Amino acid sequence: MPAFDLPPDLKAALAAKAEGLSRADAARRASAISENYRGGGTSAPIRTERDALAYALARMPATYAAISASLHALREQYPDFAPATLLDIGAGPATASWAAAQTFDSLTGFAAIDANAALRALACDTTEGSRLAAMRYVESDVFAGLAAMDAVDLVIASYVINELGDADRDALADLMWQKTRGTLLVVEPGTPKGYERILALRARLIAQGAHIIAPCPHNRACPLTPPDWCHFSQRLSRSRAHKQLKGAGVPFEDERFIYVALSRSPHMVNTARVLAQPTLNKVAVNAKLCTKAGLSFMSVPRRDKLAYAAARRWDWGDAVPDKAAE
């Protein structure tokens, strides 16, 4: 999986906003906001410009990396997809919009919805002079905002449905699908609860005719059984300022996430998905895969030199050849 760093123009815009900012104050604000999210809270505590900036500086690199990795997987399985219009739901500082703009040169129309005024203001400030400058950003709750939107080619909801109860999640899934002309991408934290939310949305929309693009190579029920759960990890580098804000000593961070990309049209998928980091020894590469046939524990022996050389490069989350589907 390639590295996904914030775009240079976004980094520059955030750095300009952070000039003169007290790192200690920003770290305190970011810590309080993160603690609230971990406890199942919403973005409501982000009330001021400083709150929004502290959140963006601390969390935007990781959420951007996770969304970008998910979009990379989508494009890998659906290379002909060239969306012209995007709707970013629960957009916050427009993280998903930035990621989509970097992934798809074809995008020309950007729309976003979020009820948080401080995050919307930050998004509007940091997108000035960029491809996203003409973005239509509606300050509204997701239901009222979505109801007023036209259908678009690509809909993204990142780190959103975790803030809703079961009934509202179902209603939002239905409404997002109604507004999806091409593809819907939903990204959640890579926790057992996040996985359960993705599974429920996945099953609900498959019943409405959706087709899975990624990460699953099939539309059937997930083959994993508790306590196992599907999730992925994206490593990102930390700047000195980022380490200070996070109170971290190591120069990198691993963001755990789960996602599902669903399409209006079916697509041939002849790849398996690597569900955990493969292990390598002198005899073989051992990998846990989700395939069209279900869960598979594959051992690629060293004596098969070509296959072994390829398997050595496999990483957690990669799409790899599904021999059973060939």
Q: What is the CATH number of the domain that holds 278?
A: 2.40.50
- State whether 293 and 207 are in the same domain: no
Q: Decide if 279 is inside a domain.
A: yes
Which secondary-structure segment (H or E) carries 189? strand 180-189
pTM beyond 0.75: yes
Task: Determine, yes or no, domain membership for 160.
Answer: yes
| 238 and 100 both lie in a single domain | yes
β-pair partners for 273: 290, 319
> In terms of domains, do 129 and 174 share one?
yes
Residues 209 and 277 in one domain: no
Burial class (CB in 10 A: 0-12, 13-18, 19+), 24: exposed
Looking at 244, 263, 282, which one is the last position of a domain?
A: 263
Regarding whether 278 and 173 lie in a shared domain, the answer is no
Task: Say if residue 134 is exposed, middle or buried (CB neighbours under 10 Å; 0-12, 13-18, 19+).
Answer: exposed
What whole-number distance in Å separates Cα of residue 275 and Cα of residue 287? Answer: 8
Q: What is the CATH number of the domain that holds 214?
A: 3.40.50.150
The Cα–Cα gap between 261 and 184 comes to 6
Q: Are residues 17 and 79 in the same domain?
A: yes
Q: Is 188 in a helix, a strand, or coil?
A: strand
Say how many CA atoms lie within 13 Å of 98 toward its Cβ: 28
Query: Is there a domain that residue 2 lies in?
Result: no
Same domain, 96 and 134: yes
Whole domain around residue 93: which residue ranges?
A: 8-263
Per-residue pLDDT of the chain (326 residues; tens, 9 = 90+): 677 999 999 999 998 998 877 777 777 777 776 666 555 656 777 889 988 998 898 889 999 999 999 999 999 999 999 999 999 999 999 999 999 999 999 999 999 999 999 999 999 999 999 999 999 999 999 999 999 999 999 999 999 998 899 999 999 999 999 999 999 999 999 999 999 999 999 999 999 999 999 999 999 999 999 999 999 999 888 776 666 666 666 767 899 999 999 999 998 888 999 999 999 998 999 999 999 999 999 999 999 999 999 999 999 999 999 874 44
Q: Is residue 35 part of a domain?
A: yes
In this structure, is residue 230 part of a structural domain? yes
Quick one: how far is CA 167 from the chain centroid? 23
**Residue 316 amino acid letter:** W
For residue 326, being part of any structural domain is answered with no
As given in the structure block, the two tokens for residue 156 are: 């993204």
Single out the residue of 153, 154, 203 nearest to residue 174, CA to CA.
203
Domain assignment of residue 305, yes or no: yes
Looking at the fold, whether 169 and 278 belong to one and the same domain comes out as no
Residue 1 domain-assigned? no
Let me know: does 261 contact 208? Beta carbons within 8 Å: no
Phi, psi of 298 (to 5 degrees): -100, 140
Instruction: Mark which of 263, 289, 313 sits at the end of a domain.
Output: 263
Structural domain count, the chain = 2
DSSP 61-122: HHHHHHHHHHHHHHHHH-TT---SEEEEET-TTTHHHHHHHHH-TT--EEEEEES-HHHHHH
Which residue, chain included where needed, has tokens 């074809």? 106
Clarify whether residues 279 and 184 are in a common domain.
no
Say if residues 176 and 155 touch (Cβ distance below 8 Å).
Answer: yes
d(CA 319, CA 289) in angstroms, rounded, equals 9
Please, what is the Cα angle at 200 between 34 and 56, to 5 degrees? 20
Claim to verify: residue 297 and residue 201 sit in the same structural domain: no
Same domain, 170 and 294: no
The answer to whether the beta carbons of residues 111 and 136 sit under 8 Å apart is yes
Considering the domain architecture, whether residues 166 and 296 belong to the same structural domain is answered as no
Strand partners, 158: 187
Handedness of CA 58, 61, 67, 69 (dihedral sign): negative
